[in-house]
Every structure is written in C-alpha cells, then in structure tokens.
Amino acid sequence: MSVAPAPVSPSPDLAGLFAAWDAPAAGPVSFAAPGAPPEGSVWRSDLPADPAAAAARLDEQLAQLQAAAEAVPAAEQRLDSAAQQARAAAEGALSFAAGEAMPEPERALLESLAELRQPAAAPVSFGAPGEPLALPPEWRSALDELRPILERVQRSILYHTYVETALGGRVVAHTALTWLGDAETEWRGRSVADEVDLHQRSLKAAVASRNLLLRVFLLSLRFAGSLATPGGVVLSLPAAWKFVNQVLAEMAHYRRVTQAG
Amino acid sequence: MSDQASSGVLYFNGINGSSGAYETPPLSPDDLARAIQGDLDLSVEPERAAEIVAESPDDLSVLRQKKQDATEGHFGVKEGVDPGDLSQSGWGVIFAFKDKDRVPAIRDALAPLLNLRREQAGRLYREYADADGYRPNESKQKFLERFQVGPGPADPEQMPYYLLIVGDPETIPYRFQYQLDVQRAVGRLHFDKLEHYAYYAQSVVAAESGQYPLPRRATFFGVANPKDPATQLSAKELVDPLSASLKSNPRLSGWAVDTILADQARKSRLAQVLGGPETPALLFTASHGMGFDNGDKRQFPHQGALLCQDWPGPEDWRKPIPQDFYLAADDITAEARLLGRIAFFFACYGAGTPRLDDFSRQTKRGEIAPHAFLSQLPMRLLSHEKGGALAVVGHVERAWGVSFHTEKTGKQLAAFESTLERLMKGDRIGWGMEYFNERYAELSSDLTDFLQEVHPFTPDNVKLGSLWTANNDARGYVVLGDPAVRLTLGSGNQPLERAYVIDARYTPGAAPAAASAVSGQAGDTPAPAAASAVSGQAGDVNYGLLPDFGKARDDLQEVIRRISQALVRMIDKVTTVEVRTHLAAAEAGAEPVREAKSIIRLDGDEEHIVPRKDDDIDRALWMIHEGMVAQARQNRAEIIRTIGALFKA
C-alpha cells in the first residue's frame, strides 16, 4: 500500500463545539457537600456583558452544533467508504498513485492504521521469558490517546451536567442537569428577560453539545469496529475518533457555507 | 439465647475460644434489661425509638409497612411479579464507590455469573458501581432515594428485587444489608482474592447449567453439649422438631431428611456432611459458633466456626477451646465436594462479626473486633476451587434462642420451616428468606411500640429483654452468596455414586466464558480448561500478558457498559420531567430561598409548587421557572431524538 502525500487543506474539527466543557474543580470527591458537583462536567458560557453580543455568540454556537448534528447521516456514508478503504489497505489491495487526490482525513486515517499494523508485521520483542511484554511505541501512543477520550466521554456523558451562564464575568444562573434534562436551577441574576433567555440558550447549547458528543463517540466506536486493526477497537478508536471529528466538522462547515450562500 | 423458665436465667449461643467460657455470660431478665437500657432515657421520642430499633425513622416506617404487608399476605416483591423469574423480578449487583479501582477486576472475575444474570434478567439487570455504587456511610434510604425508589413492596422496574452486595462489611456495612433486605432479597460476597470470586461465579453457573442435579436430601445437625442449656435447647426445640416437621411435610414427599443429634454430632461427622461423601443438597446446623477475644490471632480465621459435640461443656472444660472441637474454614480441604449446595448455620457469628457489639446498643458500644468481617467458613465453602456452595445463611453477631423459643410461647419454628420448605422446593434463596425479613419487621414494630408505650412507666424488663434480643436476632440473619441461587434437584433422593466436581480457574484480565466453558463431569475427573484468553477483534492476538492493553480494554468496556446502562435507565424514567428553580441563598451554605417546582408526566398529569413572596405569588421567580420548564421540555425532546437516532444506528 502506498499513500499519497497530504493535500494542503487544513480540516477543521469539532473541538470548538466541545470547548465549553470543563471538569469540575479538582479535589477529593465528596458526597457530603450539597450542591457541589462531585463528578461530571461544567458547561461554562462566559459571555460578554452586552446582552446582544452575548446572544449573538450563543446563536453562532447553536448554529454550529445544529449543523454538525445534521451532518451525521451524510458523514456515516463517508465512514462506510473509509472503512472499505481501510480494509482494502489491510489486505494490501489499495494503492494510490502519486498525486492521486485523497481527502486529508482519509489519508491521515490510513496512515495511522498502517502504523498500528506495523508491529504485527514485524516480530514484536517480547523480552526475556518471565519479563513483562513491551508494547510497541505506536500502540502505546494509541493507548495514550484513548485515555483522554474515555475520560471526556465519561465526564461529559455519564454524570450530571452543570451549566453556568456568566455575563461579563457575573454568574447569573447555575443549573444541574440530569441525563434526561431534569433541571435544578439556582438563579442569581436580576430576573430580567434577556438574562433568562441567555441562560436558556446556554442550556440548549449544553444539551446539544452533550448529545453530539455521545453520537460522535458511538459513531467512532462503530467505525473503529469496522476497521481491520490488530487489537481491534481498543487501538483503532483514537484514529476513528479523530477521523469522525474531522469529517463531521468538514461536512458541517460545508453545510453552513452552502446554506449561507 | 435460651430463656430457661425454671431458673429465669438467659443463656446465649457462642463460646469464647480464647477463654473457653460463654461468649456472653448468663443473665437474669433484669440484668439483660439493664444492659439493654444502659444509659437509655426511656422517655424517648419516636425518632429516638426508631433509631434504637432500626437505623432511621424511614427505615422504621418501611418495617411497619412490611409488617402490614405481611399481615395482608403481601411481602417482598410487588403483586403480579413472579419472584422466581428474574426477567420479572430483576437482578442487580451493588459495588462500593470506595472499591472503584478494584471493581473492574472483580467484575472480570465474576463475569460468568454477571453474564448469566444479565441474560436472565434482561432489561431488569442492573449494576450499581462507581458513582452509582454504595457511597461511604450511606443509609439504605439515601441509597434508594438516589434511584427514586421509595418504601413499599419492591418494584423491579425501579430497582431489582434480587441484589447482590459485593464488598466487605466495613465498606458496605451490615446495617445497610439488614435494612435493604427488608423489602428486597439481598446477599453478599466478599473475598480477599480475585480467583475466589471467579470460582464462586463458575460454581453458580455450573450448578444452574442443569448438569449437576442433586439428590433430594437434607441433613439436620444439632449439637447438644453436656450441661449447656443453649445447645440442649436448640437440639430439642429447634433441630429435632424442625427435621421431623419437614420429614412429614407432604409437600416435600420425595425428600430424605437425616437428623444427626447430640452424641453423633461430632466434628468428624460434620466433616462428612459438609464437603464429605454424605454432603446433602441442604444442610442445617445448630450449635455454638466460636467467638474470640478482640484481636486474638484466631479471631479472623476461626470466629463463627461451628463448635461440635467434642466440646465437653462449660462445666468440664474451662480453658481455651482447641480446633479439635470445632470445624473451621481451614478444615475444608481441596477434596471437599460442595458444588450446588446450600447451608444454614444457626450459630453465633456464623456469617460475620461487626466491629462493635450489637448487644449493648444503648450504652457505649464496645469493640468486639478490630474491624467488621465475614466468617471464613462460609466464604471457604462458597469459593471452593472444585465447585463451591451456592449460598450460606448465617447470623451476624450473636444468635439467640428467641429465634425459635420464648418462655411464653414455647417453640416457634414457622420462619425456619417456611424458609427451608421454599429452599427444598427449589425456590430462590432470597425469596425463601422473606419469612425472616417479615419476622424482623414485626419484631421491630413491636419493640418500637413498646418503647413508646412504656414512657414514663417502669418497663417490663422481661418483655423489653425479649423484644430487644428478638429484634436484634431477627435482623442478623443474612445470605452470603447470590440471593437468586436455588437448588438444582434431581428426581431421586439416593446419594450420588460419585461426587460432582468442576475445575474452576481464573486468569486475570481474561474473563472466563460462562456456563458452557465451566464443564465438569460426575466424578473426580478434572474438567477441561475453563477459559481461553479473551479474543481481540480483527487480527486476534493474545493480549493477556499486556497489562496496559488489558486495562485500556477494560476501561473502554466499562464506558460502553455504563453508557448502555444509562440509556436503559433513561428509558425507565423518560415519562417524567422534573424542574426546580430557586433563588440563590443570601449567604453561602444557607438554605436556598423560595423554590418553584414542576413535575410533568407524559400522561398529561402535572404537579406544580408555586413560590410565594409577601403573601403573594413570587411572579418573577415563577416566570423564570416557566421558562425553565419550557426549556426542559425542549431538551427532553432533543435527548429522546438523539436516543432514537442511536438505537436506529
């Protein structure tokens, strides 16, 4: 298999859409402190003091999230095609002539998978009898990438979500959200309509982002399972995660551009 | 405890192996009442009375409800649910949050059992682990509240009826098990070694495979040590009549019931029926359980061991008790054959020991052990490498004669008879133990009523003593092992010609396959290997020796499992939206002020709590709240759409 050089077209990813997630403040987990999030993630909407500017920022965020969610069905087709390419590459049946165009995400994916397969082709050093086996560096790197993904997914999806809206640094409301959207809100603002509206938009963005994260994770998982990689999903998930993020962001960007046009 | 009408003196089960004397000295009713009351102010408030009897007023109300339900013929699982069918009654496992680092390995070792129960319980299978696990010092009530479970008969849709606690009694206290057991069927496992979890899991799976039907035989083993009122009474008023009653029970006509009493009840004989060639499907023993001084080197390995007829009695033996007189965990050899059996030990500490003395509840409770622990004899029986017992019923702390006899009523065997009959009919053990749970509920309610009624009069010490000990005794019966196990019985009652044996194995990080892999044959032939290494996905490689890889795989599986569980839970709760809105407290740490609350159900029912301010509706807060409710509805719709897309995918 040979892979063409990467075309120069920087792909956006979804990182910006998940950027508002923070882990709760570090410290020992305590179940005793009422109201304090013991686990889970905090979605912080740090907005400008001007309500109009704040609303514009949230609108933009919501539009991006919506575009990404709408891009999922189309992205799935591209993932299927990429999985076929990956399996063909694994069997040595895929060859790209120099200069043949290949989108950047696909090229990066095949390269990553090729690296993962390398140790299986060459004998792995298992050390002297009785000594612990050493992981090939490419696999070690994949495992290192897997950990933060799992942590992010666990934190953001599996626990309560705490949504905080601040205007010009002043927190106006704080909501604890369950998985299903049951909500407990502590209101600190001035009860004016625009502050209420902004916090509700923050909630909407947080829920949309959480839903997207879940879909991306499960999509990546399914995609990783369809790639012929030694070590299966465990090793291929990081590459799959990266690929899905890139493809979704690219397609969402395209949708927004074409819709705007 | 036995209350001897002739002398008016109360004797207790339990012999101190360190000294050779009774674990608790014989007491008069007045002495006992004083010990119970200690510095108790009898002018107790209801809450205080509740605390004395149960753990909280809420626990007490559950006990009262249980008593009422039992009176009306309903207890345990809710009406219409078949407790024998796990797909209706549900099955769950509770790990401790504190054990979260160990849980993946324990889950791996228990995988055959968990997989089997998951398959049987379907959508009513639950795992409570990590953040959903038992939290430090949590009461039963608080635990249930976290999952929106209230008092009353167990509704498996909310939480499974059968619950297996996995954790030691320091991490998940006995009191949590006692109270959770009131409305549910609860068992406990805790082993120091991972392989013991694996052996137990493989034994249960093998036993339930149907390959090892047991003859319908039950053995009753009753020690009656010379000049020892406690065991004289248990032999005469418990073991003998109980075995006779079951032997003549027409509903158990196919059963052979053997009775081993008094002089026959020696250690060597017990070894024959507990792992030896005559081991029955069901073994019931009544004897003293060994107790030791706090910190004695034999306390951990031997406390709760069964003292046999070899002990010459309190008058003829006044020195430390040698192991020759009692059967302990280390007497159970690798040759023991226990697969699929159930044992019931009526003995002090037969199941376990708390750190603090349960007896002197009202005074400062003394330490009786460095830490709470499970007795090693039952744990050895459950985790036997050649196939273990399915469950052991035993007693935590001291066992009391009031379990089966009181001065006024004579022998009372209904709870024992009913429970054992269920086990012999092949019912699940947790369901069988409902009779003991009902008894605890009744006694607790009676004791609380008594404590409330006596104020400000002088209490009836005999009655107080009886109720108190009966209450503590009744709550102390626990199941060690999976509460959903049951005997797999053949049609006949003739002893097996060759013992059943399996070759349980454990490879860390490689969950053994379920029932089919744990094959065994009748006879002492080693079975085929239990498990192969977990296969990878494409390009299979055996990664069993790559710990980092194994951990990453476990972490990934854990996340997927938890997402699946979360999705299932969401489906359970999807019909209700709950929204609360309140103003921030003026000062940090203070209670929030003015709260609005709405609960909206899919069937159209709505419930609202409207905040008030200055004798009027707090319109500003209500307006915000209405906005939050509208937003919550939108969010719910969005979440459901996402779930739908996920399922579709």
Write out chain A residues lying below 8 Å of B562, CB-based: 154, 158
Is 70 exceeded by the pLDDT of residue B589?
A: no
> What per-residue confidence (pLDDT) applies to B4?
43
Q: Return the top range by mean pLDDT from A167-171, A230-234, B410-414, B536-540.
A: A167-171
| Chain A nearest CA to B130, separation (Å) | 11
- What Cα–Cα distance (Å) separates residue B629 from each residue in A180, B454, B607, B623? 13, 51, 12, 10
Sort out which chain A residues have CB atoms less than 8 A from B548's CB and list them.
135, 140, 143
Chain A residues close to B536, C-beta within 8 Å: 230-232, 234
Q: What's the one-letter identity of residue B350?
A: G
CB A3 within 8 A of CB A96: yes
Task: Using DSSP bridges, classify how beta strands B125-128 and B185-189 pair: parallel, antiparallel or unpaired.
Answer: unpaired
| pLDDT tens column, B475-528 | 888 999 999 999 999 989 988 888 888 888 787 654 433 332 222 233 332 232
Q: Which residues of A touch B638 (CB under 8 A)?
A: 181, 207-208, 211
Flag whether the ipTM exceeds 0.90: no
Lowest mean pLDDT among A198-207, B68-77, B331-340: B68-77
For chain B, what are the domain ranges?
Answer: 549-648
pLDDT surpasses 60 at B556: yes
Mean pLDDT lowest among A88-97, A229-238, B246-255, B349-358: A88-97
Q: What's the pLDDT score for residue B448? A: 67
- Token pair, residue B305, equals 């061991």
Residues B649, A140: C-beta atoms closer than 8 Å? no
Q: Chain B contacts of A191, Cβ < 8 Å?
A: 620-621, 623-624
The tens digit of pLDDT for each residue in B153-199 reads 899 999 999 999 999 999 999 989 988 988 899 999 999 999 999 99
Give CA–CA dist B200/B207, Å, rounded.
11
Q: Tokens in use for A198? A: 């902004």
Using CB atoms, which residue from B559, B574, B627 is nearest to A153? B559
Residue B639 sits at the chain A interface (C-beta within 8 Å): yes
Specify the range with the lowest mean pLDDT, choosing from A155-169, B46-60, B200-214, B603-617.
B46-60
What letter would DSSP give residue B367? Answer: B
| pLDDT of B456 above 70 | no
Does B593 contact chain A (CB < 8 Å)? no
Distance from the Cα of B565 to chain A's closest Cα (Å) equals: 10
CA of B553 vs chain A CAs: smallest distance (Å): 6
User: Where residue A187 falls among pLDDT bands split at 50, 70, 90?
Assistant: confident
Average pLDDT over residues A151-166: 79
Residue B23 above 50 pLDDT? yes
From CA B282, how far away is CA B385, in angstroms rounded?
20
* Mean pLDDT on A225-243: 77
Say if strands B125-128 and B91-95 run parallel, antiparallel, or are unpaired.
Answer: parallel
* pLDDT mean over B377-402: 91
Interval B346-368 mean pLDDT: 74
| Euclidean distance between CA atoms B366 and B355, whole angstroms | 8
Q: Which two tokens stand for residue A23?
A: 């882990």
Q: What is the pLDDT confidence band of residue B388, given thresholds at 50, 70 and 90?
A: very high
What are the CA-CA distances from residue A236 to residues A5, B394, B553 (Å)? 22, 50, 12
pLDDT at A98: 39
The answer to whether B582 faces chain A, any CB pair under 8 Å, is yes
Q: pLDDT value at position B360? A: 54
CB contact under 8 A, B536 and A230: yes
More confident residue, B174 or B592: B174
The CA distances from residue B188 to B119, B130, B155, B332, B483, in Å, are 21, 18, 21, 21, 8
Q: Give the distance from residue B602's alpha carbon to the nearest chain A alpha carbon, in angstroms.
A: 14
Q: Is B574 on the interface with A (CB under 8 A)?
A: yes
The minimum CA-CA distance between A7 and chain B, rounded to whole Å, is 30
- Is A20's pLDDT higher than 90? no
| Touching A: B residues 89-118, CB under 8 Å | 97
Model pLDDT, residue B545: 32
Q: Which of B547, B584, B634 sits opposite A187 (nearest CB)?
A: B584
Query: What is the band of A75 on the pLDDT scale with cuts at 50, 70, 90?
Result: confident
Q: What rounded mean pLDDT belongs to chain B?
A: 79
Measured between CB atoms, which of B97, B549, B620 is closest to A231? B549
The pLDDT score that the predictor gives to residue B28 is 58
Interface contact A143-B545, CB threshold 8 A = no
Contact residues, chain B, for A155 at CB < 8 Å: none
Give the integer Cα–Cα distance in Å for B151 and B154: 8
**If you measure CA to CA, which chain B residue comes closest to A204?**
B635
Q: For position B465, what pLDDT does the model report?
A: 66
Assess whether pLDDT exceeds 80 at residue B128: yes
Determine the pLDDT at residue A70. Answer: 85
Residue B551 has pLDDT above 80, yes or no: no
- Closest Cβ opposite residue B538 in set A184, A191, A232: A232
Q: B31 with B431: CB under 8 angstroms?
A: no
Q: pLDDT-derived band of residue B350, with 50, 70 and 90 as boundaries?
A: very high
- From A24's Cα to the closest Cα of chain B, the distance in A is 15
